[in-house]
A and B are shown apart, each in its own frame.
Chain A
Amino acid sequence: MSLPDQLESTFSPEEIQFIVENEPIRIFPRVTTRKTKRPLPMGGGSNESVRWKLITTDDHNVNNMVAMQSTEVTLWLALLLKQQNKCSIVAPSWLTLKELDRSIQYEKTHVDRFCPVPWNWLVLAQVLFKRAPEHFHDPVHELRAKVQDLREIRQLKVLRGLRHLNESHLQLDNLSLLEINELRPFIVDVMDKLRQLHTAKGTMEDEEEE
């Protein structure tokens, strides 16, 4: 009622995106917000209306933007500025054809583990492809294809890993948040069931011990 059933123990992909949007990203501003004169320490409100005041993130960087000098802001802010044509977003270093190829190669050579891509790689890639496609050096359609390749090879690996679901625990290092979220209902349900079966067979022994 107060929370939709399907959100009771997992997140929607939009919520995962929301989480990722709070992470910092590098931008090249097209506007300057830095003041020529520094405000006095306790001088009383001298330039209120032009200062940015943010309540979820440090607003130092947005108050000190200089056009074409790179700085770091949270992703949601970067996307908003980009939408208003006030900045360009610097694609993360792992999001190039060369680096993606390297990751794919890693996935192929290491059958028993996931490549240590950032925990938000899939969300970040998808969001930037859609919202800032012109800011990539490599052609976006090729990048998209590579990301898809990487996703699929990791999915296959996950699928093989699911055979080892058990009643005890599981280690899933380097699996990204979106990948986890997609698999969460399945993994939790199956492991819960296996645990119940395990517990059921134990109930008799416990009673005998008592």
Chain B
Amino acid sequence: MDINIDDILADLDRDTTAVEYSDPSQQLPSDGTTVMMNSSIDPNRYKHTQIEISPEKDFKQLMRLWRNERCSPELLPYPSLLMSRMLRRVQEQMDHIENVSMGFLEEYESLEPAPTPNNKLQLLCMEAELERVKFVIRSYLRCRLNKVDKYMLYLRQLNDNEDDPGITPLNELLSSHELHYHEKHSAILLKLLNNSIVKHMPPELQAINDTEGSVSMVDEPNWNKFVFIYVKGIPNDPLLEEGESGKPCYTVSISDLNEDVELSIGGIYVMPYSVIRDLLMQEKIELI
């Protein structure tokens, strides 16, 4: 279930489609080109991935990440491998739809004893699906860009604290495109600020990232913002305890209130983000 291992394994096989089907009834990848590529690959290698990766699971994961990103106050790490798989599938599906709609694949149809004439229906559904995937990807990236803008200075500072093990380095937090955008955008913005105002001020008042004053100049995510969570849990988690209600639960503590709260599996709670952040990163809860 650990996505990182999935991703690493998937990356080895990133140009194969066949390995992604976990359903044994689906022995056949759906377009000829990938079959050719598969045949050149050591069949032993994708035995592991066969269990783990499927387009269905990837899409579910993307939906989860999209919803988490929309609800969390901070920018969450970018799932590079998942996204590259999703984008590749979108591209392949676009090509596939084009081929089907242009009738390039009709020659195969004649091999079929009783071809069902519902290409149109099939195309309609495939196109609708494609639009749905594109919507989630767009909305997800937009949400991330919004946070990249909002926390521009804060993210720049993360880069300065590289040695702190508690901080995710910027190049894991952002995709390479986002990194590039963040760098360029903040350079342009800082230049504008400097030219229009800051350079006309006395040197000691020129700081734009002073965090020592009574109010920090750098906007940080509101770590204590309340968020809605669904407690999903992972099977056989040693951290699970039996709660008061008899149901398995995680116990979290709200330190400044000196309160312990039991989060039962299947429950819905409103909690301060900082309290449940670790559980979120471990994919034990989802933001809803």
Which residues of chain A have a CB within 8 Å of any CB of chain B? 1-3, 7-11, 15, 18-19, 21-22, 31-33, 35-37, 39-60, 62, 64, 76-77, 80-81, 84, 86, 167-175, 177, 180, 184, 187-188, 191-192, 195, 198-199, 202
Contact = CB atoms under 8 A, between A and B. Distances in A.
B153 interface: no
Interface string B109-129: 101111110110110111011
B268 A174 contact: yes
Contacts of B78: none
A42 B100 contact: no
B25 interface: yes
Given A54-B126, A58-B23, A170 B270 contact: yes
B35 interface: yes
Contacts of B112: 35, 46-47, 50
Interface residues of B, number: 77
Nearest to B26: A60
A45 B100 CA distance: 13
A15 to B, nearest CB: 8
23 contacts: A1-B149, A3-B145, A11-B70, A18-B132, A31-B116, A42-B35, A46-B28, A50-B112, A50-B119, A50-B122, A53-B126, A56-B133, A57-B129, A59-B26, A60-B23, A81-B121, A84-B121, A167-B257, A171-B267, A171-B268, A171-B270, A188-B225, A192-B224
A202 B258 CA distance: 13
A191 B146 contact: no
A201 to B, nearest CB: 11
A9 B267 contact: no
Given A1-B149, A49-B115, A173-B267, 14 more contacts: A7-B70, A9-B225, A22-B60, A31-B118, A41-B27, A42-B39, A47-B108, A52-B122, A55-B129, A56-B129, A84-B124, A172-B268, A188-B270, A191-B270
Contact of B224 (A11, A47, A195): A195
B246 to A, nearest CB: 15
Interface of B: 23, 25-28, 30-32, 35, 39, 54-56, 59-60, 63, 67, 70-71, 73, 89-90, 92-93, 96, 99-100, 103, 105-106, 108-109, 111-116, 118-119, 121-122, 124-126, 128-130, 132-133, 135, 139, 142-143, 145-146, 149, 222, 224-228, 254, 256-257, 259, 261, 266-272, 275, 288
B254 A39 contact: no
Given A2-B146, A55-B90, A46 B126 contact: no
Given A39-B27, A50-B115, A198 B257 contact: yes
B91 to A, nearest CB: 10
B203 to A, nearest CB: 32
Contacts of B129: 54-57, 76-77
Max count, chain B CB within 10 A of own CB: residue among A39, A49, A50: A49
B270 A169 contact: yes
Contact of B146 (A3, A45, A62, A86): A3
Shortest 6 CB-CB contacts between residues of A and residues of B: A45-B32, A53-B30, A56-B59, A3-B146, A2-B145, A49-B105
Contacts of B60: 22
Contacts of A41: 27-28
Contacts of A167: 257
Contacts of B67: 19
Contacts of A52: 122, 125-126
A36 B116 CA distance: 11
Contact of B114 (A1, A36, A44, A172): A36
Nearest to A86: B121
A198 B96 CA distance: 58
Given A45-B32, A58-B23, A37 B113 contact: yes
